[in-house]
Amino acid sequence: MPVLKALGLHKLKSAYLANALITRARAAKREQRFAESAVLYQEALRLTPNDRRAQIQCGNMLKDAGRYAEAEAHYLAARQLRDGDAELELQVGHLHKLSGRLPDAQASYIKAMALRPGWSVPETELAKLTKAGWLGQSANRPVGAPPLDAQQLAEDEPDDATLASMRLGRDVAGLAPSLAPRSSTEMLSAHANHVQVKRLGHREPSFWGDSTTLRGVEAIHGFVISDTPIDYLQIIMNGLTIHRGPVQGGYDIALEIEPDRRRKYVFNIWMDFATFTNGRYAIELRFFDIAGKTLSHHDRVVVADPLIEADHPRSDAIIEIPRPDPRSVRERVNARESVVRPADRSLLPTPPRNILVQRTDQLGDMVTSIPAMRRLRELFPDAHIVGLLTIANEAFARTLDVFDEIIVVDFPDDPVERRRLMPLDAQEALRARLVPYAFDIALDLAQSDVSRPLLQLAAARFTLGFGGSEWSWLSANFVFNTHDPLTNLDIVPHSAKMLAMVEALGVATRTNATVMRRPELSRAQLAAYGIDPDERYVVLHAGARIGFSRWPHYPALARMILDRTGHKVVLLTEDADTRATLPADLLASGRFVLLDRRLPFDDLDAILSFCDAMVGNDSGPKHLAALRGANVVTLFTNRINSAEWGQELGGKIITRRVPCAGCLIFHDAEECGADFACIRLIKPEEVFGAISEYLRLPAA
């Protein structure tokens, strides 16, 4: 009897201690100290292991603490004590859902519903699985169901209009929603105060690495967004003020959400850095607003020798000006004559004589290069092709009928840096060996970028390699990346990509353009526009899709042609307001025809096909006239490169050299900052001189 009494007291004491621990566990749960609460429940269960409710609560706390495996062990212990508890199955379903075991979660929720019919909680949980997009363990994909809108999960059930929109989304899933018009509010944005520099030298290799480099006459061009009017700009180099002057503006900011608050202020400063010692400088563009506050742009720049115009005949950004000269840099640049070039152009002015091909890697790389190398030989049969190779592929390369000469270079993989390396003294020796060839073309066939910098040592006129904008010093980057949509790996062999690069080089070095005339066109079509079939005429096209690209002096050119030749002048424009801007004597001339409307294509084609010459901006009719064999003179703004967008075949191109060439202004004309001097300052006399040889004028 005393033993039984002692056992009873022990049970009472254990139950008392377990209850105390559970009370503390509940308090920790209320304060969301789930891990601590679980420890207290576990201590209570050591005293009363058959407490089913404590097992469930301990599992709940471990679940909330993210310790899912331990939580499941306590749920299973509770189930062994008594099966068939709907609340327990609900908690097990929650655990499986959090663990990503969705089929097990589904089974537990279904079991909970069976144990307590009509209970909405497990039914709601099942609906959430479906709403989240899961179709179930053995479910068939529903046909015609609207696509899931994840944003809708946190909202009420979608209404009929939303469902209709979601079904429409399924119907247009194969279209391009990004091209659809946006609402006015969707296009607006808030522009922060900042300095946007569009032009400040060029990235070039230097003693200090790839650096912003200033050579001779340069433009410092860009704009400032500010909510306080900008008063002036100060440019400082190494602590020395080299410019202080006003900015242009403030202009409205397109698509600004607060247009009355912020404005755009433009700067386009032309400076001659040939007056500075070569070297590295710290430069600051410091903008002062009317309140005395400043916005600044800082950079490190390198001043280097000016480039020579004759060495870069196709570039309008390289400018030589007289020194010394009391006039400003802008005055000296604008006083120069326009540049008249033949429209016929090629990547290289003469066929390449010496070509360098890099394959400074392994034998397998060399083998895959054979199609590209053979094609290179076919494209340039008269060129002297030099292979820059490693010892790993030299012997094999000598068995090929590709190279006229092979140079072997030591370019090993470094196991520490995990890339190929070449000491500076070895680089100097290789450069001394390569430079005397005066390579016209140097190309690196490796898709890996490890050997790309070696191309710099050849000092070739034209360099080519795989890659994007990271190789700013390359003459051309070739990018042709294919991908498996599942692995994102290439699906085209390396050999094909190298061959594609060589083919691109071949296309770039010769034009395939040919004159295409339409024999069905007739001069008789011209009569409807006041042009006799045997009458000689010049077409002036005064239109251009971008308004600021239009040359403003067509009336003066028309008068010159009428006064100095016997030709008729046909002025084409789709601007009905042009008539009001023309001089009365020009409109009254019987040799002047104004066509200020859109013409039927065949009639436009005939007018361009039979003219003696056409003068126009960079426009569609200009390209069409060249295709038909007309003598075309194009007047180019330097926002784009005339070498890229000039007409094919014959004719001439007129441009002006300006240091801000290549601005790419398209929509925002106010960003020029130089009053579009590159087009406005082309003189009518210069244009007349360019077309004179096409008009067969009598000798003076």
Task: Report the distance separating Cα 403 and Cα 179, nearest Å.
Answer: 50
Reply yes or no on whether the pLDDT at 5 is more than 70: no
- SS3 label, residue 370: helix
pLDDT of residue 7: 44
**pLDDT at residue number 194:** 95
Provide the token pair at 254. 């397109």
Do 265 and 250 contact (CB within 8 A), yes or no? yes
Q: Which amino acid is at 690?
A: A
Q: Do domains 354-508 and 523-694 have the same CATH topology?
A: yes
Least reliable range by pLDDT among 114-128, 171-185, 201-215, 681-695: 171-185
> How many residues are there in the chain?
700
User: Higher model confidence: residue 452 or residue 158?
Assistant: 452
For 391, list phi and psi in degrees, rounded to 5.
Answer: -60, -25
What pLDDT, on a 0 to 100 scale, did the predictor assign at position 392? 93
Residue 137 is predicted with a pLDDT of 65
How many other CB atoms sit within 10 Å of the CB of residue 558?
A: 25
- CA dist 334 and 679 (Å) reads 11
The confidence score (pLDDT) of residue 326 equals 94
Tell me the mean pLDDT in the region 613-642: 94
Q: What is the pLDDT of residue 4?
A: 38
The answer, yes or no, to whether residue 558 has pLDDT greater than 90, is: yes
pLDDT band of 539, cuts 50, 70, 90: very high
Helices 52-64 & 86-99 angle (0-180, nearest 10): 20
pLDDT given for residue 384 in this prediction:
98
How large is the average pLDDT for residues 85-112? Answer: 92
Residue-range domain boundaries for the chain: 11-131, 194-306, 354-508, 523-694
Spell out the residues 6+ positions from residue 421 whose beta carbon is closer than 8 angstroms to its own: 411, 412, 414
Crossing angle for the helix pair 68-81 and 86-99, nearest 10 degrees? 160
Per-residue exposure over 599-618, b if at least 16 CB sit within 10 Å of its own CB, e if not: beeeebbbbbbbbbbbbbbb
Nearest-angstrom CA–CA distance, 214 and 355: 30
Model confidence pLDDT, tens digit, residues 283-335: 999 999 999 999 999 999 999 999 999 988 889 999 999 989 999 999 999 99
pLDDT of 171: 56
| Encoded tokens for 162 | 């939303």
What pLDDT, in 10s, does the model give residues 236-295? 999 999 999 999 999 999 888 888 889 999 999 999 999 999 999 999 999 999 999 999
Q: What is the tens place of the pLDDT at every residue in 120-173? A: 999 999 888 888 888 886 555 555 555 555 555 555 556 666 556 555 555 555
pLDDT tens digits, 683-699: 999 999 999 999 976 55
Report whether pLDDT(184) > 90. Answer: no
Contact 147, 168 (CB under 8 A): no
pLDDT of 8 strictly over 60: no
Read off the pLDDT of residues 488-512 as tens digits, 9 standing for 90 and up: 888 899 999 999 999 999 998 887 7
Which residue, 138, 50, 69, 73, is CA-closest to 102?
138
pTM of the entire predicted model: 0.77
Classify domain 354-508 at the CATH topology level. Answer: Rossmann fold (3.40.50)
Q: What does the DSSP assignment read for 285-303?
A: EEEEETTS-EEEEEEEEEE
Q: Of 624, 622, 625, nearest to 636 (Cα)?
A: 622
Q: Which residue has the tokens 């007047």?
A: 635
Q: What band does 1 get if pLDDT is binned at 50, 70 and 90?
A: very low
> What CA–CA distances, in Å, run from 58 to 247, 260, 435?
72, 62, 79
Report the alpha-carbon distance of residue 37 to residue 29 in Å, rounded.
Answer: 6
Fold classified for 11-131 = 1.25.40
Rounded Cα distance, 678 and 25, in Å:
81
d(CA 245, CA 316): 26
- Across the chain, which distance is largest between two alpha carbons, in Å? 146
Q: CB 629: neighbour CB atoms within 10 A?
A: 16
For 220, residues 6+ apart whose C-beta sits below 8 A from its C-beta are 197, 199, 200, 235, 243, 267, 268, 269, 271, 285
d(CA 14, CA 193) in angstroms, rounded, equals 71
Handedness of CA 381, 383, 389, 394 (dihedral sign): positive
Span 547-556, pLDDT tens digits: 778 899 999 9
Predicted local confidence at residue 68, as pLDDT: 94
Contact 108, 92 (CB under 8 A): yes
Contact status, residue 460 vs residue 452, Cβ threshold 8 Å: no
Taking the CB of residue 222, how many other CB atoms lie within 10 A of it?
Answer: 22
Determine the 3-state secondary structure of 402 from DSSP. Answer: coil
Mean pLDDT (the chain) is 90
Per-residue pLDDT, 161: 62
Contact of 500 with 443, CB cutoff 8 Å: no
The tally of CA atoms less than 13 A away on the side-chain side of residue 274 is 15
DSSP 288-355: EETTS-EEEEEEEEEEEPPPPGGG-TT-SS-----SS-SS-HHHHHHTSPPEEEES---SSSS--SEE
- Fold classification of 523-694 is Rossmann fold (3.40.50)
pLDDT at 700: 47
Kindly report the CATH number that applies to the domain delimited by 194-306.
Answer: 2.60.40.10
The three-point CA angle 215-219-225 to 5° equals 140
